[in-house]
Amino acid sequence: MSWALMARDSGTNLLDSLSGIPGLKVKTAEPMARYTTMKIGGPADYFIEAELNTALARALKLLSAHDVRVCLLGKGSNILVSDRGIRGAVIRLGEEFKRASWREEGRASVLAGAAFAMTQLVREAARRGLAGLEFGEGIPGSVGGALYMNAGAYGSEMEKIVERVDGMTSAGEAVVFDRQEMTFSYRDSHLPPGTVVTGVTMRLEKKDPAEVSAKVRELVARRKQSQPAGFPNSGSMFQNPPGDFAGRLIEAAGFKGKRLGDAQISDRHANFIVNHGGARAMEVKQLMDAARAEVKARFGIELVPEVRFWGEW
C-alpha cells in the first residue's frame, strides 16, 4: 500500500547532491515494475531508498528545493504505474523504518515504522497475544500505506486502532498527529498534503495468544477462498459503494473474467485485475474504464477507483 506528494521537476546537480547523503541509495531510470505488486510500471527518473530518518529528511528538503515531484512507495500495492513511468522521484523507506516497539503491559500498543509489512505485524502481534490488528492479515502493504489509505477488512480498519502518527512535511520537517487531530473516512486518512508517514502508534488489547492466532488463521482461510492467487495483482481496484460490493456489480455487469492482452478481471473475484505475465498499465486501465462504464450504465452507480494512478497517463 502507498501515497503521493506533488511538486515539479529537477535541477542539474540533484543526482550528485542526493548521492552524497549518507543512508541514501539513488538509482536513475529505474523500472517500477520491479517494485509494484502488479509487476507493472515504467521507469522512475529517480528511485531513492532512504535507510535512515536523517537521510529521509535531507532528501525531502533537497527535492523540495529543486521542485521535484515525489511519490512515496510502500510495498507497491494499491497503485498502478503508467507504462511511461514517473517523472520525478520515488522514495522507498528502508531499515530504520522497518522496526517495531511493543508495549505489552498496561495499555498495550505498538509503534511500527512506516515500512513495516502489515502481514508481518499482524502475525507478530498474534504471537504476543495482542489483538486489534487481525483485519490486516493479507493486506499486501506497509504500515504507512495502510495508514494513508485507512486500509481495512472484515469490519475493522486503521481508524479504529491509530493513536498517533509520526511523519515529515514535504520539506523534511518533523510533524506529529494525535488521534484527535485526525479525520478518517473510507479508504482515506486525510493527512495534510505532502505528509510523509514515518511511524504509526496503534493501541491493542491483551488477549490469549491462541485466541488471537485462531482469528488470524480464520481470516487467512477466508481470503484464500475469495481472492485470486498465483498472479500479480494490486488488491481491490475499486472502492465498495455504500451498501454494495464493487466485485458483485462488476460481475453482474458481465465483466468477470474479461481479458485484454495479459490483463484480466479475475474470474475468482471481479474487483481484482491480475497480470498473466506481460500486462501493460494501459490495458489494466482500459479494463477498469470499461467495467466502470458498464456498471454506471446498468445500475446507475459510479465506481470510485481504490487503486492510485502514478506517472504519465
When pLDDT is averaged across residues 202-207 and rounded to a whole number, the result is 97
Strands (DSSP E) found in the chain: 3-5, 24-31, 43-50, 70-73, 79-81, 86-93, 100-103, 109-113, 130-131, 152-153, 156-157, 162-168, 174-178, 196-203, 205-206, 259-260, 263-265, 273-275, 308-310
With beta carbons less than 8 A apart as the criterion, state whether 135 and 155 touch. yes
77 an active-site residue? Answer: no
185 an active-site residue? Answer: no
φ and ψ at 129, to 5 degrees? 75, 35
Say which of 30, 134, 137, 306 is annotated catalytic: 306
DSSP state of 32: G
φ and ψ at 269, to 5 degrees? -150, 115
Nearest to 86 by CA among 189, 10, 193: 10
- State how far the Cα of 24 lies from the Cα of 46, in Å rounded to an integer: 12
Mean pLDDT over the full length of the chain:
93
Q: What is the DSSP string of 100-159?
A: EEEE-SSS-EEEEETTSBHHHHHHHHHHHTEES-GGGTT--SBHHHHHHHT-EETTEEGG
With beta carbons less than 8 A apart as the criterion, state whether 246 and 238 touch. yes
When pLDDT is averaged across residues 3-25 and rounded to a whole number, the result is 72
pLDDT higher than threshold 70 for residue 9:
no
- State how far the Cα of 267 lies from the Cα of 279, in Å rounded to an integer: 16
φ and ψ at 125, to 5 degrees? -60, -40
**What integer pLDDT is reported at residue 4 of this predicted model?**
42
Higher pLDDT, 10 or 34: 34
pLDDT, one tens digit per residue, over 139-170 is: 889 999 999 999 998 889 999 999 999 999 99
- State how far the Cα of 38 lies from the Cα of 289, in Å rounded to an integer: 18
pLDDT higher than threshold 90 for residue 210:
yes
In the structure, what pLDDT confidence band is assigned to residue 274 with cuts at 50, 70 and 90?
very high
Say which of 187, 203, 222, 248 is annotated catalytic: 187
pTM: 0.89
When pLDDT is averaged across residues 178-193 and rounded to a whole number, the result is 94
306 an active-site residue? Answer: yes
pLDDT, one tens digit per residue, over 223-246 is: 777 788 889 999 999 999 999 999
- State how far the Cα of 128 lies from the Cα of 210, in Å rounded to an integer: 10
Say which of 82, 142, 236, 266 is annotated catalytic: 236
φ and ψ at 14, to 5 degrees? -65, -45
- State how far the Cα of 138 lies from the Cα of 152, in Å rounded to an integer: 11
Residue written as grid cell 485484454: 260
**What integer pLDDT is reported at residue 224 of this predicted model?**
79
In the structure, what pLDDT confidence band is assigned to residue 99 with cuts at 50, 70 and 90?
very high
- Distance from CA of residue 18 to its chain's centroid? 25
Nearest to 269 by CA among 305, 301, 313, 238: 238
**What integer pLDDT is reported at residue 230 of this predicted model?**
86
